[in-house]
Structures are given as structure tokens and as C-alpha cells.
A and B are shown apart, each in its own frame.
Chain A
Amino acid sequence: MPMSDDRREDVRLEAFFEAARATPPEPSPALMAAVLRAAEGLQPAAPRAPLTARLREAFGGWPALAGLATAAAAGVWIGTALPEAGIGAAEAAYLVDVAPELAFDLAGDF
């Protein structure tokens, strides 16, 4: 079936549109750089993480923080629980004063 005149014109015009689509203007490097620069200048800062999260990151994340907490708890325990246990006579016998001259001799003053 022969093509109608209108249809033929449509096909011809489409060839022009196709040519336009096939030859888009390429953005110059200067334009791309300017757009990116503007983006960097106008981009809102990423929100700061809460203090707890920042501390966690500073110590190296959860595993490191868990180790630190264990060490701290052990220190507290050693510092508080051990003296309460006291030193028995048997242990005291093993204790030697390696520098007696450095000790205060309060009795000498009286």
C-alpha cells in the first residue's frame, strides 16, 4: 500500500529528530567541573553521629570497646576487692621490705 503524504512527511521529520538525538551536545569539562564545584559548595554536611557512636568509633568499634570495658571492670575489682580480702600471716611472712631506709620511721621522732 503506498504511503500517504502525511505519513511520508512524518518519516522524513523523524529522520531529523533521530539526527538530533544522535548528536547531542557534549558538556565541556569546564561545565562538569563547575557543576561539581557548586555541588560541593552547596551540599549540606553529613549529620554528626551522636557522641556515643563517635566514641565507639574512636576506640575502634564494639569489639575493642568490649575489651576496654572488661579491662576496666577487672581493674576496679582488683582495686577494691583485693584489700578487703586482707593479707594473712602466711602471706605476710613472704613480704620483704626491700628498702627500709625509705620508710618513715615515725617512732624515731618521738
Chain B
Amino acid sequence: MAMPFDYPDTTPDEALLAAFAAGDRAAARVLTMRLTPRVLAHAYRLLGNRAEAEEVAQEAMLRLWRQAPEWRAGEAKVTTWLYRVTANLCTDRRRRARGGTVPLDAVPEPPDPQPGVAERMQMRTRADALQGALGDLPERQRQAVVLRHIEGLANPEIAEIMGASIEAVESLTTRGRRALTEALGTRKEELGYADER
């Protein structure tokens, strides 16, 4: 078949998924490398547990492969679909685990980031503190805040992922930010930003 062995970074996910459905193995590799980290990160932000997030990511990607032959171009972005599936899988897990909260010590050590040691430690401390505070938010607020402020999506796409209106998304992110500010505000000293202005 006249398929290129590999794809440039600019190849849209939708084109890769079509190539995957046509039997192109290179497309499967590129999609795996590109999307698995994003799905894992999203699941981790929603669950706060690395092992569970890996299971969710694996299941979400499995569903993507299954969906590929029926994928209709132009209907939705692959990432929009994946964020929605991932969030639903996370919701199911939390529902099943209701009554027991995710233990904080189950949160893994994040990988070493690039900056210097002190900055790296501070980054890690802040990321862990945020993760803890996110875990205390109501589910929809957490999802909206993560999609908006960590994944960096625009409100219309978040609304599509969450099946909500744009106004509802704005309200959720506003309330979520307020709650996070309150939760993290009590830890200014230990998080090293008491003097930042």
C-alpha cells in the first residue's frame, strides 16, 4: 500500500484514525504516542491515582481502536471524544469506589521536570497540592477546571466534552477556581508563594 511509514506532527488525529482503520500500522503507533500521554494525564487529574489512571487510559484507548472503523469524519475531534470517554470512565470508577476516597499516598511521584532542583521541588510540591485540592472539588467543577486550566481547552470545546452549555462551563470553572484559591490559600507558606506579589 502507498502509505507513508510515518507522519509529520501536523497530521490531524482524524486523518491518522482513518489511516488506522484502513490497516496502516504506522498510524497506530503515532496515535498511541500522541494520545496516550494526554489521556493518562487527564485521567490522573480527575482521579488523583496513578495506577487507576493507567487503567482508565488503557481502556479509553481500547475504545478508540474499537471506534475507529465507525468513525465519521467531521463529527467530532478525536481528542474531544477521548476526553469525554476518559471522564466517563473516571466517573464510573469514582462511583464504584464511593465511600472510600483515593488515598493521598497513592499519588505517585511525578517525573523529574527540567528546571533546577529547588524550582523542581517547588513545582512538584505545588502540583501535588493542586492535585489534592482538585480531589476535593465536586466532580463537574474538577473536570471543567482541569480541561480549562491544565489542558488549556476553550470553553466551547469543554462544553461539548461535558455535554453542558458554555455558561454552565464558565460557572463551573469560576466556582472551581474560587474553591481552589481558598483551599490552597491556607498553605501559602509551605507552598513558597507567601511573598509573591
Contacts and interface: CB of A to CB of B under 8 A. Distances in A.
A16 B130 contact: yes
Contacts of B40: 25, 27, 31
Given A35-B58, A40-B25, A22 B180 contact: no
A44 interface: yes
A54 to B, nearest CB: 12
- The A interface is mostly helix, strand or loop, or mixed, namely helix
Contact of A31 (B28, B31, B36): B36
Interface in A2-47: 3, 8-17, 19-28, 30-32, 34-36, 38-40, 42-47
Nearest to A39: B28
Contacts of B124: 19, 23
Contacts of A19: 122-124, 126-127, 130
Interface stretch (B16-24, B89-97, B155-163): B16-24
B76 interface: no
B118 interface: no
B62 A42 contact: yes
Contact count band on A = 35 or more
A36 B29 contact: yes
B142 to A, nearest CB: 12
Given A20-B130, A23-B110, A31-B54, A43 B28 contact: yes
A72 B141 CA distance: 76
17 contacts: A13-B181, A16-B130, A16-B184, A20-B131, A22-B123, A22-B127, A23-B123, A23-B124, A24-B110, A26-B111, A27-B40, A27-B54, A31-B40, A38-B62, A39-B31, A44-B22, A46-B1
Which 4 pairs, one residue from A and one from B, show the smallest C-beta to C-beta distance?
A46-B23, A19-B126, A23-B110, A39-B28
